Structure 1
């Protein structure tokens, strides 16, 4: 089950086989059915997850009962609630499987020990967190600066792998628009590309 994760480590770091084996000995695989929760609002996030296969979404439910999707995670991406993990406070988010998924989980203690004990792994995680911060900043900029059409085009350009895997309703939620608005924008975009 760890093939994707091993390849991820080999492609991005210079780890010895012993270090890779140590990392893999500290993970727990978990299979999720479509719609199954990895984390629920109110739970404390005591893990860091790596998506081996499938797709997860992180979201909140607003006062109207509508999902507000914050983040998607597919193969080779990380998942978890960083705020809850760091502060050990109840999460404000849900994380569930958009499709059947396999996730590799690190407990908080094991993950921190590995980051501190294997410098190359710690550097990889820091680089990953920096990229996530940049992506988050870009997403906020898009949300407050772009038109609905520009948001959709930006999503297509920066999330090619996701665009064909996700239901339109989830894409609309992620972009902060109604499914009807997204449908209208898709039609306009299609007409412009012809």
Structure 2
């Protein structure tokens, strides 16, 4: 009986550790990425967050209404998305398309509504403000995004859907489309205090 209890306790502890591993890795990676981002801005050159990384920080994404700020990595592949949201390459000019996992970095994406503010900081330190224009759920088997048909200065945020599903790799995607903040709005030079403290 004692062995069975020990086996159950060990099995439970193992499952608990594995259950928290992905969110913990995502959180710790953002700290290392923030350091690499600061170095990239200071030197205006690419800084890898750890020596063996196959990606690097390219932007900071901020959601003032949610009090959230994230470092965006180059590439929308699995290696990047395990550590942070990733920029999907669209060519030299064009829209920003950023993908992230629904259970870690983009778990709050569903809280954005039309009119919500999103900010994006480039390596030059300048912040660009966007306003959410729409949110939609699309089936990736029937719809795909053609960057050449999107406005050059638009921003798309993409994650898997539904947010609370236990089934990973499904075909549905949650897409947030944002456009540059209206010209009459105050452009600001950085995120407000709710984001700056993060």
Provide the TM-score with structure 1 as the length reference: 0.28
Which has the larger helix fraction?
Answer: 1
Provide the TM-score with structure 2 as the length reference: 0.27
Relative contact order (C-alpha < 8 Å, sep 6+): which is higher? 1
